């Protein structure tokens, strides 16, 4: 249609881009589902296989983040060799494999192996999907598309909590896990029909294919400009791992690594993974009471993430982190105090309110912002490796927290455990004040120029 206006073309492109984002975000949904499903099923798995010791329970829980760390390590290679789209399809096959192992597990060892394999898929896709989204979306909608991935994670967590509730009376933990087959298949089959990343195609010298992909995603008038921009960005000498540490790129590694570390040291997954256990301690009635409480938490997580999506390009990343980190510190102090007996013998109500404020504060700030910064700050030639390291920091610290939380809580008391998270978040706030640049409304080229012009991290 030669007479089609640029704006109607752009509109059609947006619908297509939105469809791609939804399909790719299935990976986020699975990430969240695998995070959330364990909190409701752990009790039944333990009963089924006669697991009584805390250590084995912690291993069952942390098998996903351990697998994910490995997946994140492989993601840079896989995104380069196989390409972004094929790697996402591969991760869907791995998701299906891992899920099948858990669903048909005949021993606790099989459950752990299945969860390790699921984790591999989560780690692979949690780096490659944001990368794919960043590469197929035009700058105007890039932030929103990446935050959509975080939104999918929270919807996945909430779905898991709802499924946990649905099966709590029957204790059918196999069915809880089996639901994950649906988004896994949708992801794999859906991605077959989605375009490859034009950037990867150019990287592999397939200019004609790259051009035809760009035509589907951008108004005709913008295609050659886009093509040129990618070619310029690819003309940089390719980056090696050690360049990340021997040049000023190390500042970006420091920034994104530390943000992901603080994301995990806020205690988010201690709360999410062990919500029913924690609530039982706060006096909620039985496993069911705990699961209901976790549904309330999961809903708040989705709602607050929507608030974050809305605000991030209006008020900026730094302000969100100031407000969010302060909210985390205050709510963790109150939560710790409620468990330490400061509010009498039945602290459920105060504990629940503190947890909700905590989740809200996390979701508008440390939930989405590290993912956005990780995809924004690295120059294109270093993006894959830089993102892989940041992502590995997230999974590494996730393991440290989730694998030790129960033992730590038993050793020093639940109140002190929550106060420790408040302490880490004070450090996070200081880090943001001193080092984090504001990337709202900033072109990526400008950030790169400032980096090489020798500016301080804070002023990039
Ligand atoms: C974090 C996850 C966490 C989730 C909660 C993500 O950004 O990386 O570890 O479980 O947010 O919404």
Q: What is the pLDDT along the chain (460 residues), one digit of tens a residue?
A: 445 565 666 676 788 888 898 999 899 999 999 988 988 898 899 999 999 888 898 889 889 999 999 999 999 889 889 999 999 999 999 999 999 999 999 999 999 999 999 999 999 999 999 889 888 887 667 777 777 888 999 999 999 999 988 998 899 999 999 999 999 999 999 999 999 998 889 888 899 999 999 888 888 878 888 888 788 777 777 778 888 887 889 999 999 999 999 999 999 988 887 766 667 666 666 667 777 888 888 999 999 999 998 888 888 899 999 999 999 999 999 999 988 888 876 667 888 899 999 999 999 999 999 998 888 888 878 888 899 999 999 999 999 998 788 889 889 998 999 999 999 999 999 999 999 999 887 766 778 888 888 888 888 8
| Ligand 1 nearest atom to the CA of residue 269, by list position | 10
Does the beta carbon of 268 lie inside 6 Å of ligand 1?
A: yes
Angle subtended by helix axes 223-234 and 207-217, to nearest 10: 130
Among 268, 275, 320, 387, name the best residue to mutate to test ligand 1's pocket (greatest count of ligand atoms within 8 A of Cβ): 268
For 193-220, b where at least 16 C-beta lie within 10 A, e where not — what string? Answer: ebbbbbbbbbbeeeeebbbebbbebbbe
- Helix residue spans in 241-285 (DSSP H): 243-246, 249-265, 268-273, 275-281
Q: Would you state the pLDDT for residue 81?
A: 92
What is the residue whose two structure tokens read 């299945």? 114
Among 38, 125, 126, 150, name the best residue to mutate to test ligand 1's pocket (greatest count of ligand atoms within 8 A of Cβ): 150
Lookup: tokens for 32: 């969240």
What's the rounded Cα separation, in Å, for the pair 177 and 117? 13
Residue nearest to atom 10 of ligand 1 (CA): 269
What's the rounded Cα separation, in Å, for the pair 35 and 1? 47
Q: Which residues contact 30 (CB under 8 A, 6 or more apart)?
A: 95, 121, 122, 125, 156, 180, 183, 184, 187
Does the beta carbon of 62 lie inside 6 Å of ligand 1?
A: no
| Ligand 1 nearest atom to the CA of residue 367, by list position | 7
Residue nearest to atom 11 of ligand 1 (CA): 367
What pTM was estimated for this model as a whole? 0.87
CA of 21 to the centre of ligand 1 (A): 19
Does the beta carbon of 272 lie inside 6 Å of ligand 1?
A: yes
Helix, strand, coil content of the chain in percent (nearest 5) = 80, 0, 20
What's the rounded Cα separation, in Å, for the pair 355 and 220? 49
Q: What is the DSSP letter of 1?
A: -
| Ligand 1 nearest atom to the CA of residue 35, by list position | 10
| Ligand 1 nearest atom to the CA of residue 32, by list position | 10
Q: Would you state the pLDDT for residue 2?
A: 46
What's the rounded Cα separation, in Å, for the pair 334 and 328? 10
CA of 202 to the centre of ligand 1 (A): 33
Does the beta carbon of 153 lie inside 6 Å of ligand 1?
A: yes
Lookup: tokens for 349: 């109500």
CA of 354 to the centre of ligand 1 (A): 18
**Do 99 and 180 touch, CB atoms closer than 8 A?**
yes
Residue nearest to atom 12 of ligand 1 (CA): 154
Q: Which of 423, 428, 297 is nearest to 357 (CA)?
A: 297
Residue nearest to atom 7 of ligand 1 (CA): 367
CA of 371 to the centre of ligand 1 (A): 10
Q: Would you state the pLDDT for residue 216?
A: 85
Lookup: tokens for 388: 């892989």
What's the rounded Cα separation, in Å, for the pair 441 and 352? 37
Q: Would you state the pLDDT for residue 1?
A: 42
Does the beta carbon of 277 lie inside 6 Å of ligand 1?
A: no
Helix (H, G, I), strand (E, B) or coil at 359: helix
Does the beta carbon of 150 lie inside 6 Å of ligand 1?
A: yes
CA of 153 to the centre of ligand 1 (A): 7
Helix (H) or strand (E) holding 79: helix 54-81
CA of 270 to the centre of ligand 1 (A): 11
Does the beta carbon of 415 lie inside 6 Å of ligand 1?
A: no
């Amino acid at each position: 249609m030669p007479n089609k206006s640029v704006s109607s073309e752009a509109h059609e492109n947006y619908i297509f881009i939105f469809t791609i984002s939804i399909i790719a975000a299935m990976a986020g949904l699975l990430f969240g589902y695998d995070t959330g499903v364990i909190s409701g099923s752990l009790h039944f798995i333990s009963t089924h296989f006669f697991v009584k010791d805390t250590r084995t329970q912690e291993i069952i829980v942390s098998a996903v983040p351990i697998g994910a760390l490995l997946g994140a390590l492989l993601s840079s290679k896989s995104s380069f060799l196989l390409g972004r789209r094929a790697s996402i399809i591969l991760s869907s096959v791995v998701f299906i494999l891992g899920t099948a192992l858990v669903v048909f597990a005949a021993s606790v060892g099989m459950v752990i192996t299945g969860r390790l394999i699921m984790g591999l898929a989560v780690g692979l896709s949690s780096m490659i999907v944001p990368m794919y989204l960043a590469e197929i979306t035009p700058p105007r909608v890039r932030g929103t598309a990446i935050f959509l991935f975080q939104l999918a994670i929270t919807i996945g967590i909430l779905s898991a909590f709802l499924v946990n509730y649905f099966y709590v009376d029957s204790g059918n933990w196999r069915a809880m896990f089996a639901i994950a087959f649906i988004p896994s298949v949708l992801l794999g089959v859906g991605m077959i029909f989605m375009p490859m990343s034009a950037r990867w195609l150019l990287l592999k010298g397939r200019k004609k294919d790259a051009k035809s992909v760009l035509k589907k995603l951008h108004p005709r008038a913008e295609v050659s400009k886009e093509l040129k921009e990618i070619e310029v960005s690819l003309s940089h000498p390719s980056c090696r791992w050690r360049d990340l540490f021997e040049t000023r790129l190390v500042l970006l590694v420091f920034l994104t690594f530390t943000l992901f570390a603080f994301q995990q040291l806020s205690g988010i997954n201690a709360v999410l993974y062990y919500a029913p256990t924690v609530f039982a301690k706060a006096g909620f009635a039985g496993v069911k009471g705990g699961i209901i409480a976790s549904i309330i938490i999961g809903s708040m997580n989705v709602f607050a993430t929507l608030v974050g999506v809305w605000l991030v390009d209006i008020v900026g990343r730094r302000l969100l982190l100031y407000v969010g980190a302060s909210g985390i510190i205050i709510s963790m102090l109150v939560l710790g105090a409620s468990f330490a007996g400061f509010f009498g013998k039945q602290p459920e109500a105060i504990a629940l309110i503190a947890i909700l404020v905590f989740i809200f504060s996390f979701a508008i700030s440390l939930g989405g912002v590290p993912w956005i910064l990780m995809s924004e700050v690295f120059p294109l030639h270093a993006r894959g490796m830089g993102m892989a390291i940041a992502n590995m920091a997230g999974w590494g610290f996730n393991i440290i927290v989730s694998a030790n939380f129960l033992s730590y809580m038993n050793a020093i008391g639940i109140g002190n455990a929550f106060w420790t998270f408040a302490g880490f978040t004070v450090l996070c706030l200081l880090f943001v004040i001193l080092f984090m640049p504001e990337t709202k409304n900033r072109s990526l080229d400008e950030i790169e120029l400032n980096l090489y012009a020798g500016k301080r991290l804070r002023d990039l």
